[in-house]
Amino acid sequence: MTLPTHAQIVVIGGGIIGCSTAYHLARDHKADVVLIEQGRLTSGSTWHAAGLVGQLRSSASITRVLKYSVELYKGLAAETGLETGWKMSGCLRLATNQDRWTEYKRLATTAGSFGMEMHLISPAEVKRMWPLMETADLVGASWLPTDGQASPSDITQSLAKGARMHGAKIFEGVGVTGFGMKGNRITSVKTTQGEIACEKVVNCAGQWARQVGAMAGINVPLQAVRHQYIVTEKIDGLAADAATIRDPDRRTYFKEEVGGLVMGGYEPNPQPLPTGDIPNDWQFHLFEDDYDHFEQHLVQAIERVPALAEVGVKQMINGPESFTPDGNFILGPAQECANMYVGAGFNAFGIASGGGAGWVLADWVVNEEAPLDLWVVDIRRFSQMHRDQQWVSDRTCEAYGKHYTIGFPHEEYTSGRPRITSPLYDRLKSHRAVFGSKLGWERPNWFAPEGVEARDIYAMGRQNWFPHVGEEHRHVREAVGLFDQSSFAKYEVTGRDAARALDYVCANDVTKAPGRLTYTQLLNTRGGIEADLTVARLAEDRFYIVTGTGFRTHDLAWIAEHLPEGDVAIRDITEDWGTLSLMGPRAREVLARVTDADVSDVAFPFGHVREISIAGATVRALRITYVGELGWELHVPLAVTGAVFDALMAAGADHAIRPVGYRAIESLRLEKGYRAWSSDITPNDTPFEAGLGWAVKMRRNADFIGRAALEAVAGQPLKKRLAGFTLDDPAAVLVGRETILRDGQAVGYLTSGGYGYTLGRSIGYGYVRNAEGVSDDYLTSGSYELVVANERFPARIALQPLYDPENLKVKA
């Protein structure tokens, strides 16, 4: 078959992700698809993958993606005639200590929230299910009966056949040599067999995805790591339907295969490949057996399954697998190129993800919009710093080493730090700041009082910083605090058509007079919330946009891609400005001492922006708050941020001003009911469902992205609504994904959770769902409980902010 000269979509890579994407493009979208593979199908890492298929993740959307994979694999053979090796053996996850057991109790709650079956079982039940296992050290295990295993090569070949059956064309032995480009758009794929003109490209090149992306100017931050496992000879007494095993406290996994075991693990000292390009001829490449490095897993595995000591090893697989800096895979459109999409970096669970990832990626490619909330795997979660391949390698190795460690809440990565610091870094260190990191920026999470160790000590219950964050919280409520939020992403939109263009992109009315601020969402065509930010109009043709640190690449790309044509431009100016947030009831008194500007409520009302002078610097002062108190965000030219900080600290000394960290911001915003994008509000949620209908310009006769979707449901009963919940029991620690029970029935789960120090209670937010409609009466007439780590706690629902600073009231 001759390589065509034109195709609508070219998929690069014939592993499980590329074949799944081609299959779904052809089956679901009837697209004209050509898949090219430099070697043979399954080459790279698919052919030597272990083939475990798990489904539960901390994200509801990603769990849905993995559940789809299982459903696809169950029925694929019937469609194509090629078996997939799918076996629903179930999965046991073992716990040998109380922290792990608490983690499993939380996971069991999450599973219930996401509609998955998961059971917590005793060591005796584990022994009954897996007689060859040593169970004396177990606290218990989790049991997911619908997990299983499959043959990676067989699934891939079955998907490839299905793709061909639906019209896709697949070519092996065709390497990519470059791209024809027009500006930032690919016009053709140059190959070893000729050139293919195309409209879109999907980069599913696996461990070569970074190299393929670089040919089009895009960065795919992944790192190949040597991952080893063994295949044993037949083991007497091992059942053919034995459950797959994950033994994270021993860092190992097992699955039955032809009467023996596949056993591998995730070591804390992984072996990354060199950071340079991977040779093209490594299509079926394995490294030499490395039993010295593998011994750590073998020792642990024999202690768990003593029969392994008496059985031979048929084969060791030591092959490269692609991993990412945060352990999540990579999907979606690259910011740097208008028509290249990526599906790569699957962190050794590409087989589990393959079916679902191909489904959502195909939909994304055709409709140019993610079909559900895929933020945790969106390639636009990365930034310029991820072009530093050594940093990516170091962070990826840390993530690999954490693959089986206990997932403590609020745990921070430590490698490659500090990467980006604000001018206040040393000043804040002198105040005993304990820093976290967000998209490379060092940010103070909390401040340790004298005599308290200035570091996080992780735990499943209340952590060591809990009372000290409480003091910071109370200080902002009662006096005044100063936050360094210089890591905020900041953009400037300019041009004669800037107002008209932003009016189309933003759901709220940003066309107010210069000097006004607007809090707004950016919506997708389904009416879901793609971004949540603040727009300040500085002049008729100039706007200043502020959004969250982690959303810098995503939000910039979303706005740039959706700005209508005209005299309008957007640029990222994050590093031009530091941000100091002055918050608390005494904020005005402090600010008045350092500026000649009139900062009274009459002269400087809420929702306005003014340029004022502080310490000789011209500062953009935004009267806005995310903590529920009087306050200003002071956007300062970066070079003079230190001088402005010093002036504010000196002026506020009489008012006991103090620096405050991000963990206090979180507790303060929970009490006030402010939503957080990526948790409380996502592309799956509309402003109406999130209680943000007031921030949508439905009454104005102005078109904007998402308006048609909102009009289509206007006046109809909402099937889900965001509500607040509080618990009286101090023992319950909320972290999100706890199940919401109404009159004993599951109706949703928490999207975020924490503690409100003013209230003295745990606070959570989550969507209550009901197919018949969620009215105020429905919400208030129910009796509520939250399932926290598999235990039920009575809860109270709140439809209004729990903390009201205007009336100085706390509502229970």
Residue bearing tokens 């400037």: 492
- 601 Cβ contact partners less than 8 Å away, ≥ 6 residues apart: 588
- Token representation of residue 688: 């109406």
pTM over 0.75: yes
By the 10 Å C-beta count (0-12 exposed, 13-18 middle, 19+ buried), 720 is classed as buried
Domains of the chain, by residue range, sit at 6-84+150-218+328-380, 91-145+227-268+277-320, 488-572+686-716, 577-655
204 DSSP assignment: -
Q: What is the pLDDT at residue 598?
A: 98
By the 10 Å C-beta count (0-12 exposed, 13-18 middle, 19+ buried), 801 is classed as middle
Q: In sequence order, what DSSP letters do the residues of 335-359 get, joined into one string?
A: TTSTTEEEEE--TT-HHHHHHHHHH
Distance, first Cα to last Cα, the chain: 71
The H-or-E segment that residue 180 falls in is strand 176-182
Q: How far is CA 363 from CA 36, 341, 357, 368, 558, in A?
A: 20, 11, 10, 8, 17
- 2 Cβ contact partners less than 8 Å away, ≥ 6 residues apart: none
CATH of 488-572+686-716 given 3.40.1190.20, 3.40.50.300, 3.30.70.1400, 3.30.365.10: 3.30.70.1400
Rounded Cα–Cα distance for residues 172 and 40 (Å): 5
Residues in the chain where the model's pLDDT stays below 70: 805-812
322 DSSP assignment: E
> 252 near 294, Cβ under 8 Å?
no
Q: What is the pLDDT at residue 810?
A: 45
SS3 693: helix
| Residue 799 CB coordination number (10 Å) | 13
Shortest CA distance to 634 belongs to which of 600, 594, 681? 594
Q: What is the pLDDT at residue 58?
A: 84
Question: How would you classify the pairing of strands 617-622 and 609-614?
Answer: antiparallel
Per-residue 3-state assignment (H helix, E strand, C coil) for 57-114: CCCHHHHHHHHHHHHHHHHHHHHHCCCCCCECCCEEEEECCHHHHHHHHHHHHHHHHC
Q: What is the pLDDT at residue 128?
A: 97
Please, what's the b/e burial string for 354-392 (b: 16 or more CB within 10 A of its CB; e: otherwise)? bbbbbbbbbbbbbeeebbbbbbbbbbbbbbebbebbebb
Domain 6-84+150-218+328-380 is of which CATH architecture?
3-Layer(bba) Sandwich (3.50)
Q: What is the pLDDT at residue 812?
A: 38
> 131 near 34, Cβ under 8 Å?
no
Top-level class of domain 91-145+227-268+277-320: alpha beta
- pLDDT tens for 754-785 read 999 999 999 999 999 999 999 999 999 999 99
Q: What is the pLDDT at residue 805?
A: 65
Residue type, 290: D
Domain 577-655 has CATH 3.30.1360.120: yes
HSE-up (13 A, CA, CB side) for residue 670: 30
Shortest CA distance to 196 belongs to which of 206, 186, 204, 205? 186
